[in-house]
Structure 1
């Protein structure tokens, strides 16, 4: 991931979207999700994917099964449908599985586009943060550090 300004912009946009989701602020969420969708989709997806995985691991320290994922999905969808009617539960399922390293083939499910990812990933993060009670910054710092280490180890 690029250093400096790019990381700050992704971090800021993600933080604003997650905060708006947590507050169930439809206008603020629309603004923040739109801003987030203008950022590099690979970077946004990587950062938010790692954050979702970390949150799932913390909320379910003994491991996850399909029932646990259904609970997360139902809670997230139930909390967002009232203020975000264009919510697509299928996108949430794809983001959850991708965060866990499961990537279906294009025949099984089309890839999630950048706009859909930016509109749905912050919902998962906000939902899981509400369970942990910890601030997003803790997870963003840890995710960025993990990504930096992984990318540094990949260099020749």
Structure 2
């Protein structure tokens, strides 16, 4: 286990370890390692919330002047194109929901059923790995910040 996660409660530690493993597998395009990591993410409550926070942080860092529709489309297209070679089951709609949710603009409306937690767990590490390539930094710092934001939000709610 990574020593940096020892201070976290057990559930948060499981998210951190599984997310780190899934992102590393996505970066390496290692389907054999990816599957068990996302299976662990699927079984942990609030993993999507934390990974959504990581996506938001990465989007803010890689687009400091903000994002417009073209930026979102470019991120989506790049991620799908890069991932499809080793994950032909990638669903662009799930990635778009992840992007829109991280930006706080997702509204499922009457005609759209939100992706289930398993679909989110299977796609969020792919998007994080893609965005990390642009940042050049490890996922651990983003996870730490995302956990702090979740804790701060829960404290004030």
Alignment equivalent of 1:77, drawn from 76, 80, 100: 80
Name the residue aligned to 1:143.
146
Task: Please give the alpha-carbon distance, in whole angstroms, between the structure 2 residues aligned to 1:109 and 1:29.
Answer: 28
Alignment equivalent of 2:28, drawn from 23, 29, 54: 23
Alignment of 1:18-97 (within 5 A): 18-40=23-45, 43-97=46-100
Task: Please give the alpha-carbon distance, in whole angstroms, between the structure 2 residues aligned to 1:124 and 1:66.
Answer: 17
Name the residue aligned to 2:5.
none
Name the residue aligned to 1:112.
115
1:69, distance to aligned residue in structure 2 (A) = 0.6
Task: Please give the alpha-carbon distance, in whole angstroms, between the structure 2 residues aligned to 1:82 and 1:105.
Answer: 29
1:107, distance to aligned residue in structure 2 (A) = 1.8
TM-score calculated relative to the size of structure 1: 0.92
Runs of 4+ with deviation above 3 angstroms: none
Task: Please give the alpha-carbon distance, in whole angstroms, between the structure 2 residues aligned to 1:127 and 1:55.
Answer: 10
TM-score calculated relative to the size of structure 2: 0.92
Gaps of 5+ in 2: 1-7
1:106, distance to aligned residue in structure 2 (A) = 4.5
Task: Please give the alpha-carbon distance, in whole angstroms, between the structure 2 residues aligned to 1:106 and 1:16.
Answer: 34
